[in-house]
Chain A
Amino acid sequence: MTEVTMNVNGRKVTRSVRGNELLVEFLREQLRLTGTHVGCDTSQCGACCVHVNGELVKACTMFAAEADGAEVATIEGQANADGSLNVIQQAFQDYHGLQCGFCTPGMVMSAASLLKDNPKPTEEEIRHHLQGNICRCTGYHNIVRAIMAASGQETPAVAAE
């Protein structure tokens, strides 16, 4: 066991971790931040996406010990200070960008990372960026629309408004 300290959603935490303990296990089991999900065991699905020092990371690909000293952001820390949904979260609700919600935390974290680097992505850029996030429910249509809307752009194609 080694001791790690990190800043998670603005809160400093220190815990003992196993050498092979994944960051996603640490977040879910030790910190009870269960919004970060596990959808696969081959780093393919993106349900576990978080930000580590501002970078998008699949939390199943990193050991907790590797995040020692890091700033970690998870879905639980994304809402506005008053508890209301942030722009991306709100767009996901407005544009029905989620159904079962299991991929959603990863999608929101992934979208936030995209918009930080590319504030006005095209549909193609969004789809390309989301390659690492699988959603089985939505067919991506409304996820793409939500991200377009969150970036202040007209959303493509139809839906009953």
Chain B
Amino acid sequence: MPKDHGIGASSKRREDVRFLTGTGNYTDDINVYGQAYVAFVRSDVAHGRIKSVDTAEAAAMPGVLRVFTGSDFEGVGSIPCGWQVTDRHGEPMKEPAHPVLAHGKVRHVGDPIAAVVAETLQEARDAAEAVMADIEELPAVVDMKAAVASSDTLVHDDIGTNLCYDWGFVEDNREAVDKAISEAAHVTTLELVNNRLVANPMEPRVAVGSYEAAGDMSTLYTTSQNPHVIRLLMGAFVLGIPEHKLRVVAPDVGGGFGTKIFHYAEEAFCTFAARALKRPVKWTSTRSEAFMSDAHGRDHVTKIELALDKDHNFTALRTETYANMGAYLSTFAPSVPTWLHGTLMAGNYKTPLIYVNVKAVFTNTVPVDAYRGAGRPEATFQLERVVDKAARELGVDPIELRRKNFITEFPYATPVAVEYDTGDYNATMDKLIEIADLANFETRRKESEGRGKLRGLGINSYIEACGIAPSNLVGQLGARAGLYESATVRVNATGSISVMTGSHSHGQGHETAFPQVVAEMLGIPEDMVEIVHGDTANTPMGMGTYGSRSLAVGGSAMVRATEKIINKAKKIAAHLLEASEADIELKDGAFSVAGTDKSVAWGDVTLAAYVPHNYPLEDIEPGLEETAFYDPSNFTYPSGAYCCEVEVDPDTGKVDVVAFAAADDFGNVVNPMIVEGQVHGGVAQGIGQALLENCAYDETGQLLSASYMDYAMPRADNVPMVTVDHSCQTPCTHNPLGVKGCGEAGAIGSPPAVINAVIDALQSGGHTHVTHIDMPATPNRVWAAMQG
């Protein structure tokens, strides 16, 4: 029987009720009394020198309060980068300034040049049209290899190069890897592109800044995955506002997928302008603005070489990647192609020698940063594509080649600096074979062929590192932040509980899943526990939600705080029961004395804590509230095996995903319904990347895919039902819940499965020359590949 409450139950989501009745509270639903509106004037050229910005006409227009330009931000800090990568020669990365409003030059289409604040949105927009920016257009750098080669066109003149860093990992392995590859019995080589994507949470970004002069207090309402991080970055580095004078609120947030982690210029602008004007100031992004101002994702170009011995053991792996940073360094951009990518290149395999080279490049494009999976989808795609290609070249079964090289003993220290605690890659592969009904694939292929379609089967494994992250480790790797999480468990007098968490829910269902954990630990109903999140004024400093970290890190903080509650409550119960603390047991919401029928209910203990009449005041303080900060000792390592079946129309090249199955190992699972929903959504995004989505620039740096007319989001009829399974569970060994995280797996594991399936379909149709197709595998690309 599945559980109906607590850990392991598919509790229905309590947050759904407000979302289903239109009573959610998203940032754009917030209007602060007296607010004015912002419209940004954005560059329509990719690269240019700002000769002048004439704001006179705009400033005189109806309703306009003020027009701001870059010069208003002299003395204001640069938008900071939160991670410093050291290159393979020991030098720090190049770190150019990132002004709130462009100053001197514009560096990508969408770079904000000026901002109009007016009484109404309409007036702000009208006046923005009247701002005259005289910009001398410069040649743009768009192609990464050309950008590195070029010294006459520089995105940032003052740093003298378009190369942000040239990273080698593990640099000491380099020669050994080269030697192993030159001596290998077989080397499979693949050059591929991990296409640039736009995260596209359905809620566009919004910022509302306000300022109370009397208390010198600034408040920012923003669509963020991590309000405390924004408060620190914006307060300390950009605007110079101390934390106690700055409150950041991220209320209901309509999806994030990484792109709402980062600190953006618009947030700093609204906070700054509210102080300057003594008026609340609101900005709501249009979708068109989102395409040219939200950080993009992926955009890697890679050459990967896999060496095998005569028995098909992997002996070495070498990659060279160009990673696009865009025009400025977004908050965590430098970490994505390095520590979130290079460290995952072992995948599920015991390859003994690995060398990863990454050249991060500035171009005249929107900044690129973490998007669902962040570095790990790029690693998985390369690896699982090259393994598939190797199997084909060697004429061996792709599943058997994987199994032969699987890591089977744990803990396992990879040659790329991480230690996998647990996993069972054969178990998830076995489960996949079962749930995807691989035994009958040939029958299905014949059936498709009967309808004139080419059917292909794509399989892959994946591993990811989640639960980011041990603070002292990431500190050594260049992070300028700690990556612990926090929780305060406040037990109220009558026994109900408020949990203040530093994690942030923007679709993940924390308001439902977190209470399941606390309720299970205390033996009380889930509805006695409420989660409070998203407001720096009433939650402890926390790092927020991304990297599938909320339950593994934030949930662990909550467990630790609840343990402290239990310890104190037992002391109180011991006093009330006149027993020794060591004899007190907590079960089903009551404290009892072991071996007796003496007990006291949860609510009596909590009441005693706040009405301490009969209470050991000399030994313990009144009240029942505890805080814990949890810093993980390692990453967590979810893993699994995915299978995609496609049908390709040989006449048009159109690919349909006809079946998809995912067998994941997430360790322990708190709410299976929510976990499965995360996989469904991640897989749809992965299918989107593989077949539909592409953020395209032309050679002048114009953004070609700037709306839903040109950027193909997965729609309901583009994706299939997804068969999911998470019954293979090897619990994480180093966090108290044994959980690993499930938010990104779908997006990490699915793109190679889709492309492997497309290649298999074409090969089965006799197009044996087609060994790779870059994503997205559009009808055009597939058809062209078939023509040879």
Given contacts A36-B22, A104-B19, A135-B202, contact A99 B255 (CB under 8 A): yes
Q: Are B717 and A128 in contact (CB under 8 A)?
A: yes
Q: Are A93 and B12 in contact (CB under 8 A)?
A: yes
Q: Are A101 and B716 in contact (CB under 8 A)?
A: no
Q: Are B717 and A42 in contact (CB under 8 A)?
A: no
CA distance A158 to B716 in the complex (A): 17
CA distance A92 to B18 in the complex (A): 12
Could you say which residues of chain A place their CB within 8 Å of the CB of B15?
Answer: 101
Cβ of B218 to closest chain A Cβ, rounded Å: 24
16 contacts between A and B (CB under 8 A): A34-B29, A75-B21, A96-B13, A96-B677, A99-B681, A100-B506, A101-B252, A105-B22, A128-B716, A130-B715, A136-B681, A137-B507, A140-B680, A140-B716, A160-B10, A160-B673
Given contacts A45-B202, A47-B202, A93-B17, contact A136 B255 (CB under 8 A): yes
Could you say which residues of chain B place their CB within 8 Å of the CB of A78?
Answer: 21-22
Query: Does B299 touch A at the CB level, under 8 Å?
Result: no
Given contacts A40-B708, A139-B684, contact A144 B202 (CB under 8 A): no
Could you say which residues of chain B place their CB within 8 Å of the CB of A37?
Answer: 26, 28, 202-203, 254
Within 8 A of A (CB), among B610-635: none
Cβ of A153 to closest chain B Cβ, rounded Å: 14
Could you say which residues of chain B place their CB within 8 Å of the CB of A135?
Answer: 202, 716
Could you say which residues of chain A place their CB within 8 Å of the CB of B721?
Answer: 123, 141, 144, 156-157
Which one of A36, A126, A136, A159 lies within 8 Å of B716 (CB-CB)?
Answer: A126
Could you say which residues of chain B place their CB within 8 Å of the CB of A156?
Answer: 721
Query: Does B652 touch A at the CB level, under 8 Å?
Result: no
Q: Are B200 and A85 in contact (CB under 8 A)?
A: no
CA distance A98 to B19 in the complex (A): 8
Could you say which residues of chain B place their CB within 8 Å of the CB of A75?
Answer: 20-22
Which one of B18, B201, B717, B722 lies within 8 Å of A139 (CB-CB)?
Answer: B722
B-contact bits for A77-100, CB 8 A (1 contact / 0 none): 011000001000100111010111
CA distance A12 to B518 in the complex (A): 46
Within 8 A of A (CB), among B31-73: none
Q: Are B684 and A102 in contact (CB under 8 A)?
A: no
- Kindly list 14 other residue pairs between chains A and B, CB separation below 8 angstroms, not including A134-B715, A136-B257: A37-B26, A37-B202, A39-B203, A78-B22, A92-B16, A96-B12, A98-B16, A101-B24, A101-B254, A123-B721, A131-B715, A137-B507, A138-B680, A160-B676
Most buried by A among B21, B255, B286, B672: B21
Which one of A45, A76, A127 lies within 8 Å of B708 (CB-CB)?
Answer: A45
CA distance A74 to B22 in the complex (A): 8
Query: Does A33 touch B at the CB level, under 8 Å?
Result: yes
Cβ of B689 to closest chain A Cβ, rounded Å: 13
Closest to B10 in A: A160
Q: Are A96 and B673 in contact (CB under 8 A)?
A: yes
Could you say which residues of chain B place their CB within 8 Å of the CB of A157?
Answer: 721-723
Query: Does B142 touch A at the CB level, under 8 Å?
Result: no
Cβ of A125 to closest chain B Cβ, rounded Å: 10
B-contact bits for A32-58, CB 8 A (1 contact / 0 none): 011111111110110100000000000
CA distance A39 to B22 in the complex (A): 15
Q: Are B723 and A158 in contact (CB under 8 A)?
A: yes
Closest to B122 in A: A18
CA distance A131 to B716 in the complex (A): 6
Could you say which residues of chain A place their CB within 8 Å of the CB of B28?
Answer: 28, 34, 37-38
Q: Which residues of B contact A (CB under 8 A)?
A: 2, 10, 12-13, 15-24, 26, 28-29, 122, 200-204, 252-255, 257, 284, 286-288, 506-509, 672-674, 676-677, 680-685, 707-709, 713-717, 719, 721-725, 746
CA distance A106 to B2 in the complex (A): 33
CA distance A152 to B400 in the complex (A): 44
Q: Are B722 and A35 in contact (CB under 8 A)?
A: no
Q: Are A141 and B21 in contact (CB under 8 A)?
A: no
Q: Are B255 and A100 in contact (CB under 8 A)?
A: yes
Could you say which residues of chain A place their CB within 8 Å of the CB of B18?
Answer: 101
Q: Are A42 and B708 in contact (CB under 8 A)?
A: yes
Query: Does A161 touch B at the CB level, under 8 Å?
Result: yes
Closest 8 CB pairs of A and B: A35-B22, A101-B19, A102-B254, A139-B684, A100-B507, A44-B708, A99-B507, A75-B22
Given contacts A18-B122, A40-B707, A100-B201, contact A136 B19 (CB under 8 A): no
CA distance A156 to B24 in the complex (A): 30
Which one of A85, A134, A141 lies within 8 Å of B713 (CB-CB)?
Answer: A134
CA distance A116 to B676 in the complex (A): 30
CA distance A115 to B722 in the complex (A): 24
Could you say which residues of chain A place their CB within 8 Å of the CB of B16?
Answer: 92-93, 98, 101
Query: Does A151 touch B at the CB level, under 8 Å?
Result: no
Which one of A42, A76, A127, A128 lies within 8 Å of B22 (CB-CB)?
Answer: A76
CA distance A45 to B677 in the complex (A): 21
Closest to B724 in A: A158
Closest to B684 in A: A139
Could you say which residues of chain A place their CB within 8 Å of the CB of B673?
Answer: 96, 159-160
Could you say which residues of chain A place their CB within 8 Å of the CB of B672?
Answer: 160
Q: Are B719 and A139 in contact (CB under 8 A)?
A: yes
Q: Are A44 and B709 in contact (CB under 8 A)?
A: yes
Could you say which residues of chain B place their CB within 8 Å of the CB of A33?
Answer: 22
Could you say which residues of chain B place their CB within 8 Å of the CB of A142?
Answer: 677, 680
Could you say which residues of chain A place their CB within 8 Å of the CB of B676?
Answer: 96, 159-160
Cβ of A110 to closest chain B Cβ, rounded Å: 10
Cβ of A86 to closest chain B Cβ, rounded Å: 9
CA distance A123 to B719 in the complex (A): 12
Q: Are A138 and B719 in contact (CB under 8 A)?
A: no
Could you say which residues of chain A place their CB within 8 Å of the CB of B202?
Answer: 37, 39, 45, 47, 100, 102-103, 134-137
Closest to B727 in A: A160
Given contacts A92-B16, A136-B685, A160-B676, contact A99 B509 (CB under 8 A): yes
Q: Are B707 and A93 in contact (CB under 8 A)?
A: no
Given contacts A136-B257, A158-B723, contact A96 B674 (CB under 8 A): yes
Could you say which residues of chain B place their CB within 8 Å of the CB of A39?
Answer: 202-204, 287
CA distance A92 to B77 in the complex (A): 46
CA distance A161 to B673 in the complex (A): 8
CA distance A59 to B287 in the complex (A): 16
CA distance A45 to B78 in the complex (A): 35
CA distance A152 to B159 in the complex (A): 64
Given contacts A35-B22, A131-B717, A140-B719, contact A161 B685 (CB under 8 A): no
Q: Are A35 and B24 in contact (CB under 8 A)?
A: yes
Given contacts A99-B508, A134-B713, A144-B716, contact A41 B677 (CB under 8 A): no
Could you say which residues of chain A place their CB within 8 Å of the CB of B722?
Answer: 139, 141, 157
Query: Does A143 touch B at the CB level, under 8 Å?
Result: yes
CA distance A38 to B29 in the complex (A): 11
CA distance A57 to B740 in the complex (A): 43
CA distance A59 to B509 in the complex (A): 29
CA distance A35 to B717 in the complex (A): 25
Cβ of A8 to closest chain B Cβ, rounded Å: 12
Could you say which residues of chain B place their CB within 8 Å of the CB of A92?
Answer: 16, 20
Query: Does A149 touch B at the CB level, under 8 Å?
Result: no
CA distance A36 to B29 in the complex (A): 10
Could you say which residues of chain B place their CB within 8 Å of the CB of A76?
Answer: 21-23
CA distance A38 to B28 in the complex (A): 9
Q: Are A42 and B709 in contact (CB under 8 A)?
A: yes
Q: Are B677 and A79 in contact (CB under 8 A)?
A: no
Query: Does A108 touch B at the CB level, under 8 Å?
Result: yes
Could you say which residues of chain A place their CB within 8 Å of the CB of B723?
Answer: 157-158
Which one of A41, A93, A127, A143 lies within 8 Å of B717 (CB-CB)?
Answer: A127
Could you say which residues of chain A place their CB within 8 Å of the CB of B253?
Answer: 100
Most buried by A among B16, B122, B722: B16
Could you say which residues of chain B place their CB within 8 Å of the CB of A35?
Answer: 21-24
Most buried by A among B23, B284, B714, B721: B721
Which one of B24, B257, B684, B725 lies within 8 Å of A140 (CB-CB)?
Answer: B684
Cβ of A150 to closest chain B Cβ, rounded Å: 12
Which one of B200, B674, B717 lies within 8 Å of A136 (CB-CB)?
Answer: B200
Q: Are B2 and A160 in contact (CB under 8 A)?
A: yes
CA distance A152 to B775 in the complex (A): 39
